[in-house]
Structure 1
């Protein structure tokens, strides 16, 4: 998969439209926990580029822009309009989902043995 070859599931050009709107760059602005200070507050990962030496190329994905919506079930997420999508690098997407999941997890007290 490169800039000219969309993912197999992109039958309607949705992924390409999201990447074009994002100028081929991850749209995370710190919801992943990183400030992205060196790059003006936006993740520097670009589609097909390299984040660090020794890693493979970045393959951006189109996912929900709102971090809370990343926890929606797939059937509800698929029904949302494309204006609610953003381009994410896998690292920012995973970290943002993890943070959203932790924020919604109920606080439980440890069980007392005695």
Structure 2
């Protein structure tokens, strides 16, 4: 792993999360991929490493809630989580896990009954 360049805000928290993750994405399949061939079932992407898919580029890990359901928290609630409840995510794993959490929430919620204009 090469040098870690922290984000502009929350640098201390971000660095603590990255250190706990050893600078590697902590996804273990919640994104929909098994990551089985990558060794230990964990995503192989490392911070400042190269992304070998979709045109390459540099991977910039983010610190976000470790539980998929917590990814749906309002930003101010997610920002208040302690570092033990955060994980390092590469953008593709984060986005796929967030999408799966949103789909799960939509299917779990009962369908909203539309308000009727008139009582029948």
Q: TM-score, normalised by structure 2?
A: 0.82
SS of 2:87's equivalent in the other structure is strand
Max Rg structure: 2
Correspondence for 1:77: 78
Unaligned runs of 5+ in 2: 112-120
Correspondence for 2:8: 8
The question of whether the paired residues in 1 share the 8 Å contact of 2:26 and 2:43 is answered with: yes
1:26 aligns with 2:57: no
Runs of 4+ in structure 1 deviating by more than 4 angstroms, as ranges, are: none
Aligned residues: 106
Cα separation, 1, equivalents of 2:20 and 2:49? 17
Over aligned residue pairs, what C-alpha RMSD do you find?
1.6
Task: Compute the displacement of 1:51 (Å).
Answer: 2.5
Task: Compute the displacement of 1:4 (Å).
Answer: 3.9
Unaligned runs of 5+ in 1: 109-114
Cα separation, 2, equivalents of 1:65 and 1:29? 11
Change (3 A) 1:7 1:104: same
SS of 2:58's equivalent in the other structure is coil
The question of whether the paired residues in 1 share the 8 Å contact of 2:4 and 2:47 is answered with: no
Can you list the C-alpha shifts for 1:68-91, whole angstroms capped at 9, x where unaligned?
A: 000000111122211100000000
Task: Compute the displacement of 1:107 (Å).
Answer: 6.6
SS of 2:76's equivalent in the other structure is helix
Can you list the C-alpha shifts for 1:39-76, whole angstroms capped at 9, x where unaligned?
A: 22000000011121641110000000000000000111
